[in-house]
Amino acid sequence: MFNKRKSGGNSHLYTVIEYQKQFEQFKRRVRLFLSPIPDTLIQQKPAGSSWSIGACIGHINVTGEKYLEHLSEAYEKAEFTEIEGSGSFAPRVLPFLFISLMQPPAKWKIKAPSIFKPGSNLKKKQLLEDFNQLQDQLLSLLEKSKKLDLSRIKLSSPLIPLFRINASECFAILIAHQNRHLWQAEKILKELTQRDL
């Protein structure tokens, strides 16, 4: 996922530039992935699965939007109070474990909470527009991050308000989450195409 550099034990340092590269790559990856797939296939579910390709992308979009709301509010407060800083950021132990568990390939299934369930519009055009908009909004925040200390910008998890993370950990969580469900979508496409052979 990242170019990781060890710093004192198990910590990994992540930079704003690395985050920006990841979200830019996601835009290209999803565009190339979805472009050749017809809407009918995007909404199909393989046998034994409750997820379609569209549901995977829709879930990414809904989850990202929820985190973005909290992240944007935290940034507004940070700019107002002039929390300046720059450099590399190391996630704390619990967020790091969460990020690691989120990475594909998925070792076990995690049921998506109701607040993160995708909407009913799973058409390719809308999914791609929403996905690109989400990446652009995250990139816009990262552009502001060049003068801010991400480790001091704190926000609550949309799912568990008492679970506090910093902005750097939030970006890392979102990247791991997107990787997980894009891997899932690619796996679903493979299963669907093999079924029709």
CATH number of domain containing 153:
1.20.120
Task: Give me the number of domains the chain comprises.
Answer: 1
Where residue 71 falls among pLDDT bands split at 50, 70, 90? very high
> Is pLDDT of 30 > 80?
yes
| pLDDT tens-digit readout, 91-114 | 888 888 888 888 888 766 667 767
**143 is a domain residue:** yes
Q: How confident is residue 13, by pLDDT bands cut at 50, 70 and 90?
A: confident
Residue 18 within any structural domain of the chain: no
> For residues 177 and 63, is the Cβ–Cβ distance under 8 A?
yes
67: in domain: yes
pLDDT of amino acid 115:
76
Q: Which two tokens stand for residue 192?
A: 């669907």
Provide the residue type at 53 as one letter. Answer: I
Q: What is the mean pLDDT of the chain?
A: 85
Contacts of 148 (CB under 8 A, 6+ apart): 75, 78, 79, 83, 84, 85, 86, 167
pTM for the predicted model, two decimal places: 0.86
> For a pLDDT cut of 70, what percent of the chain falls above it?
85
Domain contains 111: no
Residue 96 in any domain: the answer is: yes
Q: Which two tokens stand for residue 68?
A: 């973005």
pLDDT tens digits along 53-65: 999 999 999 999 9
pLDDT beyond 60 at 7 = no
Asked whether residue 82 is assigned to any structural domain, the reply reads yes
Closest-CA residue to 33 (of 25, 22, 45):
25
Stronger pLDDT, 152 or 82, i.e. the higher one = 152
Is residue 170, in this structure, part of any structural domain at all?
A: yes
At residue 9, the pLDDT reads 40
Domain that holds residue 61: 40-106+118-195
pLDDT of residue 196: 59
Per-residue model confidence (pLDDT) at position 160: 84
